Amino acid sequence: MFAPVALGRLTLANRFVRSATWEGMAAVDGSVTEKLTETLVRLAQGGVGLVIAGHAYVQKQGQAGPWKLGVHSSAMQPGLTGLTGAVHAAGGRIAAQLAHAGQAALVALSGEEAVGPSDGEGFRAMTEAAIESTVEAFAKAARLCRESGFDAVQIHAAHGYLLSQFLSPYYNKRTDAFGGSLANRARFLLAVVKRVRLAVGPGYPVLCKVNSEDFVPGGLTVEEAVTVAGWLKEAGLDVLELSGGTGDSGRLMPVRPGKIQSPEGEGYFKVAAGRIKAAVDLPLILVGGIRSFEAARRLVADGVCDAVSLSRPLIREPELINRWKSGDLRPSTCISDNLCFRPAKNGEGIYCLTEKVAAEKAAKG
């Protein structure tokens, strides 16, 4: 788990990845701040093999929430370059997650009408011209990230955001070339992957995050996810990160609440991951409900995945990977209560509120 590993064109110091999340620490205009840099540097210092910076919007129209990172403009480049330089100086590697929220975008922030695969309350169906413009926006953002020193880019096609919306028949009710069959629903995503590959060149690592399934009635299925994974490989993808769920999935949303009771219960999407690994020769990173070193080691040893991604455990303990490497193999102390998102919504940036409250109580005696 702690030996260097090659995942396609991407080489990491170990098999642990920090999965992208909303840090809530960028400036109002999407630019990098000192606080965001310090947070990602701390993860690199904590031993994470790859830090993925979260939900960076490729168009202002696609901004999902406040204080998110922007990769939509060359004006962002000085801050992005400073960020990657700081992570590299700390001995880490960093990727940017390229995202567009689609119909889930916050109109109050973007000042533009939200769009998605189909018409709905508060959003409109994208025209083919708008789809082409967004494909090019992903490509330009990827080129900007490469030029700013990122070691890789990740295309966000999971969790009910734009590319996930097009993949899912739950959201996608189109009857044109971008709706109906799985091949049509995947057309947008595959166009993005191919254009990004052209933009960054043949040797630069390109990752993609997709759902194993949507966990909504009539949503993307595991069988469809297996097929899409094969198409992504053919399109030039280097590494797949597998997740699941959307904002409409209730308790099966991507950040499921509730403490995991045993190592056997870890790895929400491990069955789907095993099916994809058996069918498609593509390096796979598995995220979701991994809390112990033993569960992470077993998932890799059993061939379910090639690396594991952690998000909330690294909010609670940014130095978790170094702790495990030192021989302290106690599970993460994260209890999956999702209170870490509360301070981010208040403009403070994401942190473990549960830990802070416990420390304050202890200090008061």
- pLDDT tens digits, 152-211: 999 999 999 999 999 999 999 999 999 999 999 999 999 999 999 999 999 999 999 999
Please confirm, yes or no, whether 351 is among the known catalytic residues.
Answer: no
Would you kindly state where each structural domain of the chain is located, as residue ranges?
A: 5-364
Give the model's pLDDT for residue 263.
Answer: 80
pLDDT greater than 80 at residue 365: no
Give the model's pLDDT for residue 363.
Answer: 84
- pLDDT tens digits, 75-100: 999 999 999 999 999 999 999 999 99
Query: 322: pLDDT confidence band, cut at 50, 70 and 90?
Result: very high
Give the model's pLDDT for residue 361.
Answer: 81
Query: 364: pLDDT confidence band, cut at 50, 70 and 90?
Result: confident
Predicted TM-score of the model (pTM) = 0.97
Mean pLDDT of 342-352: 92
- pLDDT tens digits, 205-251: 999 999 999 999 999 999 999 999 999 999 999 999 999 999 999 99
- The closest alpha carbon to 156, from 231, 114, 211, belongs to 211
Give the model's pLDDT for residue 359.
Answer: 86
pLDDT greater than 90 at residue 279: yes
Give percent above pLDDT 90 in the chain: 93
- Catalytic hit among 57, 161, 170, 268: 161
Give the model's pLDDT for residue 360.
Answer: 83
Distance CA 350, CA 86 (A): 20
pLDDT greater than 90 at residue 260: no
Distance CA 355, CA 163 (A): 35
What average pLDDT is seen over the chain? 96
The residue that leads in pLDDT, 260 or 7, is 7
- pLDDT tens digits, 97-134: 999 999 999 999 999 999 999 999 999 999 999 999 99
CATH no. for 5-364: 3.20.20.70
Least confident of 103-107, 110-114, 258-262, 264-268: 258-262
Query: 261: pLDDT confidence band, cut at 50, 70 and 90?
Result: confident
Give the model's pLDDT for residue 311.
Answer: 97
pLDDT greater than 90 at residue 358: no
Give the model's pLDDT for residue 264.
Answer: 85
- pLDDT tens digits, 324-335: 999 999 999 999
The residue to which tokens 């809530």 are assigned: 24
